[in-house]
Amino acid sequence: MANSVIALYPGSFDPLTRGHLDIMKRASRLFDRVIVSVLLNVEKRPLFTPEERIEMINEVTASCQNIDVETFDGLLVDFATAKSAKVVVRGIRAVTDYDYEFQMALMNRRLNSTIETVFMVPALEYSYLSSTLVKEVCLLGGDVNGLVPGNVETRLLAKIRNPNQDVN
Ligand code: PNS
């Protein structure tokens, strides 16, 4: 489609939370196509491999025809250009997110002024969620039920209890 609007929803998604899923679904209702863009981050030490993260996202978005999942490295704006995406979606939870998101949005605009950042707000019940907190709670034996999709909870528990074992 010539006028279709493609949006990237970038992040580490290590792992995806219900907050991320909420934003993915909201974005899929706004844009013609949403590409969940998983950063291949060499600096951070992720708990899940990119393949695991992609698989988990694919599983929970299977019913959304216009959501795809891909990995990227390098500059986000270069990936957006390669995918003909004009929009970058970022979820904003509280004011504390704003500084970082504001910096990123303006840096991305400086790098490529044709790409717009759109901030979206998740459902209130997910507004305090982060992948980092979920991992910490799970590692310390807390209950993460309801904070992440069921498939993610299963994999989190398996990874933390049997770090060297594959869940499949
Ligand atoms: O889930 P995160 O860690 O908040 O996602 C951050 C992400 C992936 C959006 C950001 O780190 C990113 O876009 N990285 C790609 C490198 C880049 O383009 N940097 C310059 C933009 S500020």
Q: Has residue 2 got a pLDDT over 80?
A: no
135 falls within a domain:
yes
pTM listed for this prediction = 0.94
Distance 166 CA to ligand 1 centre (A): 28
Residues 6+ apart with CB under 8 A from 139: 160
39 falls within a domain:
yes
**Per-residue pLDDT at 3:** 85
1 falls within a domain:
no
100 falls within a domain:
yes
Cβ-contact 35, 60 below 8 angstroms: no
End-to-end CA distance of the chain: 37
50 falls within a domain:
yes
Substitution candidate for ligand 1 out of 104, 108, 118 with most atoms within 8 A of CB: 104
34 falls within a domain:
yes
* Nearest atom within ligand 1 for CA of residue 131: 1
What would the pLDDT profile of 15-63 be if each residue is shown by its tens digit? 999 999 999 999 999 999 999 999 997 677 899 999 999 999 999 999 9
168 falls within a domain:
no
**Per-residue pLDDT at 160:** 86
What gap in Å lies between CA 130 and CA 132, rounded to an integer?
5
What gap in Å lies between CA 34 and CA 28, rounded to an integer?
6
**CA 40: distance to chain centroid?**
12
167 falls within a domain:
no
Q: 44, 45, 110, 161: which is the annotated catalytic residue? A: 44
Give the CATH number, domain containing residue 73: 3.40.50.620
**Per-residue pLDDT at 96:** 84
What would the pLDDT profile of 104-131 be if each residue is shown by its tens digit? 999 999 999 999 999 999 999 999 999 9
Ligand 1 contacts CB of residue 92 (under 6 A): no
- Work out how many domains the chain is built from and give that number: 1
Our answer to whether residue 45 is catalytic in this structure is no
Our answer to whether residue 20 is catalytic in this structure is yes
Q: 54 is in which domain, residue-wise?
A: 6-161
Which residues, in sequence order, are bridge partners of residue 39?
Answer: 72
Ligand 1 contacts CB of residue 17 (under 6 A): no
**Per-residue pLDDT at 44:** 73
